[in-house]
Each structure stands twice: as structure tokens, then as C-alpha cells.
A = this chain, B = another copy of it.
Amino acid sequence: MDRKVSTRSAARAETERAILSAAEAVFAEHGYRGATTGMIAERAGIPKANLHYYFATKEALYRQVVENIFMIWLDAANSFDDCEDPEEALTHYITTKMDISRQHPMGSKVWANEILHRAPVIQDYLETTLREWTATRIAIIERWVGEGRMDPVDPRTLLYMIWSTTQHYADFIHQIETLNDGKPLSDDQFAIARDNVVRIILSGVGIRARAASSVKAGAAR
């Protein structure tokens, strides 16, 4: 038991983590207004008053949740730059975004809610970080087009298509599951969806698959 330095601060970190995790789930499922600090506290296993000791206001807690999500989103976004080849870069980026939707659906839902409501909390992020990120990637796509490595497409439209299609598997998962006889997508079904998304978009912008990565097109059931 050589814990001396860590017990106190570790406990604090753990409580904060539990609150943020609970908050993400509750905000995702009920939206900002629909979520109550009581629900979040209960899910985190602490009294409501204690939650307000760690996060002064509901809005501050919400802001922290959204910022965390934005950071994950940004990390994934950097996978765009891992390769110079458009086929590899787009395949990697789309695959990564699909996997995030699969493994981190609540974050995407919170983000969708925030944008739907005109981004009252994270407007500054949209106008700075996101705007810069988008501008540089548009430049990359335009260069690829100029080099004839893909068809001439409007880069914004392509980016929005990638964002919307991949995030659909998080934001609209309830609709997808309902249309899957009420059952969650199996790993196989999701893999088929992911591969089809990659293939349709790449083929859609005139990038011919070179590698023989076996992409199945079979029906999803």
C-alpha cells in the first residue's frame, strides 16, 4: 500500500471520470434540456449535491463533455493525413469514422444534438478549429483533383457526405436497429456496411480500388 500521493487525486480523477461518462450517456439519450443533473448523478452513483461540487453548473458539465468529444473527433480527423495516396487516406479516414460511430455512438449523438440546436455551446470551436481543419483538407482534395488522382468533385460535398454517412450509424442507430428487426447490427453486418460505404464513396469520386482487400457486398442479413 504505497499509495500516498495518488489516493486523493486519483479518487478525484475517478469521480470526475464517472460523472463525465454518466453525463455523456444521459446527454446523448435525452439532449441538454431533457437531461437532469439528478439523472446524471444517479447514473454516476453519487448524490446530486456532490455532482455540483465537481461541476458548478449543468452547462459547465455539458461543455466539458462536448469538448472531450470534439477532441476524439479531431484525433480521428488526423487519420486523414496519414497517407498521401487518396485511396489510402480516404479509406483510412472513412473506416476510422465508421469505427468511432460503432464504438463511441453517444459522443456523436451529443454532437448532433448540439449542431441541431445551433451549437449554443461550441460555436467558437466550429469557427476556429473545425473551420481550419476543413480548409486544409479541402486544399488536399483539390490538389488530388488537380493531379487527376480522383474525379472533379466539390470537396465540401464530399466531406459532408463522409461525415453524415458515417455518423448516421451512431446518430440514427435506433432507426437502423428497428429496420434490422429490432436487433443491434452484428459485427458482420457492420463490417459489410463499413466496407460498402468505403467502396461506394471511393468509386463515387473515381478512385479505383487497387489493393485486393476483400470487400463483400452481400445482403446484410
A 178-198 contacts with B by CB, 8 A: 178-179, 182, 192-193, 196-197
> Do the beta carbons of B118 and A174 come within 8 Å of each other?
yes
| C-alpha spacing A131/B177, complex, angstroms | 11
Q: What is the CB-to-nearest-CB distance from A80 to chain B, in angstroms, rounded to a whole number?
A: 16
Q: Which of B28, B161, B196, B199 contacts A165 (CB 8 A)?
A: B161
Q: Indicate how many identical chains form the complex.
A: 2
Q: Which 4 pairs, one residue from A and one from B, show the smallest C-beta to C-beta distance?
A: A204-B204, A164-B168, A200-B204, A33-B34
Q: How large is the interface on A (under 10, 10 to 19, 20 to 34, 35 or more residues)?
A: 35 or more
> Do the beta carbons of A219 and B130 come within 8 Å of each other?
no
| C-alpha spacing A32/B116, complex, angstroms | 12
A 25-69 contacts with B by CB, 8 A: 28-34
> Do the beta carbons of B127 and A178 come within 8 Å of each other?
yes
Residue of B whose beta carbon sits closest to that of A219: B154
A 145-169 contacts with B by CB, 8 A: 151-158, 160-161, 163-165, 167-169
Q: Which of B155, B171, B182, B200 contacts A158 (CB 8 A)?
A: B200
Note all chain B residues with C-beta closer than 8 A to A83: none
Q: What is the CB-to-nearest-CB distance from A157 to chain B, in angstroms, rounded to a whole number?
A: 4
Q: What is the CB-to-nearest-CB distance from A138 to chain B, in angstroms, rounded to a whole number?
A: 8
| C-alpha spacing A116/B131, complex, angstroms | 26
| C-alpha spacing A115/B32, complex, angstroms | 15
> Do the beta carbons of A157 and B220 come within 8 Å of each other?
yes
Fill in one digit per residue for A81-96: 1 if any B CB lies within 8 Å of its CB, else 0: 0000000000000000
Note all chain B residues with C-beta closer than 8 A to A169: 160
Q: Which of B30, B127, B153, B171 contacts A196 (CB 8 A)?
A: B153
